[in-house]
């Protein structure tokens, strides 16, 4: 019968269809690619939405990375704002406040897991549950939206959303949401790989006359970093 005769053909066709990588595989492919890079540069757009106060104006700038542990977020809006990871410490310079906030490498997992992800140092399998977001529409073809959920119940962020090319070649967007519903988002454009960057980009000295405060002290005072 024609219907029965078509079953083997259909079965063969299904076997030949490409297998969709799991969400964890997509993230791991991205981190494996980062492990092969030396430098990365990209434009970024940063936005913050408060559950109680609404959205704040977007901030923009240039991101520089020297793998495996150096990073610089140089803001053009607001002008002069800088965030630097020098391999040991983190620095956030807020010129409008006349303040530099200094943290330790170990603080990044709680304060900015996105930074650890960008340099390929986020222990995804150990620290997060990984799932593909299937209910969202509107992503470009070949891009996956993936959710990382911290295994640690007291984590500062409830989830991290990643928009990744399915082959793990590009990170388009990161969004982190905290338990209060506040969201910080980074979009990346004009990504350039392995264009040599000067070491001076990843060195930071607080300007004369500004207040220097350690992140742990600021947390005790009830302040909030980036």
Local confidence pLDDT in tens for the 226 residues of the chain:
454 455 555 555 445 545 778 999 999 889 899 989 999 999 999 999 998 888 999 999 999 999 999 999 999 999 999 999 999 999 999 999 999 999 998 888 888 888 888 888 888 888 999 999 987 778 888 899 999 999 988 788 999 999 998 887 899 999 999 999 999 999 999 999 999 999 999 999 999 999 999 987 766 665 444 4
- Provide the whole-model pTM: 0.84
CA distances from 75 to 29, 30, 44, 87, 211 (A): 29, 25, 9, 20, 20
In CATH, 20-220 is 2.102.10.10:
no
What is the secondary structure of 66-107 as a DSSP string? ETTTEEEEEEEETEEEEEEE-SSEEEEEETTTTEEEEEEGGG
Rounded to the nearest 5 percent, the helix, strand and coil shares of the chain are 25, 40, 35
């Amino acid at each position: 019968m024609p219907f029965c005769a078509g079953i083997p053909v259909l079965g063969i066709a299904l076997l030949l269809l490409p297998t969709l990588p799991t969400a964890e595989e997509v993230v791991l492919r991205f981190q494996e690619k980062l492990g092969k890079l030396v430098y990365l540069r990209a434009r970024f757009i940063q936005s913050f939405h408060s559950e109680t106060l609404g959205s704040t104006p977007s901030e923009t700038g240039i991101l520089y990375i020297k793998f495996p542990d150096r990073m610089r977020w140089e803001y053009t809006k607001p002008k002069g704002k800088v965030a630097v990871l020098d391999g040991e410490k983190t620095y956030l310079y807020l010129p409008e406040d006349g303040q530099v906030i200094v943290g330790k490498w170990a603080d990044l997992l709680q304060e900015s897991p996105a930074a650890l992800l960008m340099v390929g140092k986020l222990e995804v399998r150990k620290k997060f549950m990984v799932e593909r977001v299937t209910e969202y529409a509107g992503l470009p073809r070949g891009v996956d939206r993936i959710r990382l959920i911290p295994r640690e119940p007291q984590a500062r962020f409830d989830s991290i959303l990643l928009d990744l090319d399915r082959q793990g070649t590009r990170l388009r967007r990161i969004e982190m949401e905290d338990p209060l519903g506040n969201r910080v988002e980074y979009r990346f454009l004009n990504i350039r790989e392995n264009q040599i960057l000067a070491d001076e980009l990843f060195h930071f000295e607080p300007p004369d006359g500004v207040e220097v405060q350690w992140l742990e002290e600021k947390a005790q005072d009830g302040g909030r970093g980036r």
